[in-house]
Structure formats: C-alpha cells, structure tokens
Amino acid sequence: MKCAESEVKWMETLQDAIKLREEGKPEQAKEMLLTLHGQTPDDPDLNYQLAWVHDMLGLEGAAVPYYEKAISSGLAGADRRGALLGLGSTYRTLGRYGKSKEVLELAKKEYPEAREFNVFYAMTLYNLGSYQHAMELLLTELAETSHDEGIVSYRRAISFYADKLDQVWE
C-alpha cells in the first residue's frame, strides 16, 4: 500500500509541476521536477518535462540530456513527438546542425503527417546551407496549410514554383 501511495504522490507532484510550467512559472516547476528526478531519473515523462522547463528558461544546453533520456527511455505518443521536435530544435539553436538534421529526419519518418517537422527541418537545412531545399519545404507548407485569402488565391503558383526557384523562363 505504501508503494501505491508514494506513486500517487509522485504523480500529483509531476502534475503540479506541469501546471506551474503552464502558468509561466518554469523555475518553480524545475525545482519540483528535479526533486522527482532524484527519485526516478529514468522516467521518460519526467525527463521530457525537465527538458521542456530548461528550454523555457533559456537553458538549451541543459535541456538536451533530458530530451535524449526521455526519448531513449521509451517516451511515446504526443510527448515523443514533442520531445523529438524540442530536441531537434534545441540542437539547431546550439549550432549542432548535423544532430538537428538527424533527429528531425527521424521525426519526419515516425510522424509523416506532422507538418511542423518540415518547418523546423527547413530551418536546419538553411543553417546547413541547403537554401533551395529549405525554401521548397517552407513554400510547400505555406501553400498547403495557409488559410490566408491572398496565399490561397496564389496556392497553385506557390506550389509550382516551390522547387523551381533557380529556374529562369525566357
């Protein structure tokens, strides 16, 4: 019974920390999460939450090991999707473009319907000097997802030119 009670308390503390993060109090959330981490350092959900608050606090370098641990420990579903995006984006902001590309390519394979990965992947491609491919991805996402009246009216043209930016017609 004692074990079940402590598990309930642990989950309540985790939820309280998430609430603090959502309320814009990441420093307080971080303190609570680090306390839990001392008890269960391999929990994927906890590591994901720690990565998230570190990112919120501008501590990207410190967020990386938590993202990596969350993913390698079996984080699943929407949280895995978020962690892959967070890790790929964080690697990019740290100038680790090759690692960013690797993580975002994995994410694109695992979640082919998740269009946000193309946008972050395009940013990484830009940093790697693949400007044409980056623009093609962004223009395609813009054309296919925008509800802006002006964009919608030129959707076919934007889609057509997305992979022809260097082509010149005479």
Q: How confident is the model at residue 85 (pLDDT cuts 50, 70, 90)?
A: very high
pTM for the complete prediction?
A: 0.90
Residue 135, pLDDT above cutoff 90: yes
- Mean of pLDDT values over 115-130: 97
Q: Are residues 10 and 35 in contact, defined by beta-carbon separation less than 8 angstroms?
A: no
pLDDT at 5: 81
pLDDT at 1: 40
CATH of the domain at 85: 1.25.40.10
DSSP codes, 106-135: HHHHH-TT-THHHHHHHHHHHHTT-HHHHH
Q: Are residues 117 and 144 in the same domain?
A: no
* Lowest mean pLDDT segment, chosen from 50-54, 72-76, 104-108, 164-168: 164-168
pLDDT at 18: 96
- Mean of pLDDT values over 99-108: 98
SS3 71: helix
Quote the Cα angle for 40-8-28, to 5°.
65
Q: Are residues 59 and 16 in the same domain?
A: yes
Half-sphere exposure for 31 (CA within 13 Å, toward CB): 4
Nearest alpha-carbon partner for 44 in 95, 7, 79: 79
For 90, other C-beta atoms within 10 Å of its C-beta total: 23
pLDDT at 4: 81
Total number of domains constituting the chain: 2
Q: To the nearest 10°, the Cα dihedral for 92, 97, 102, 107?
A: 20
Write out the residue range of the structural domain in which residue 170 sits: 132-170
What is the C-alpha separation between 71 and 63, in angstroms, rounded? 13
Q: How confident is the model at residue 169 (pLDDT cuts 50, 70, 90)?
A: confident
- Mean of pLDDT values over 20-46: 96
Q: Are residues 71 and 124 in the same domain?
A: yes
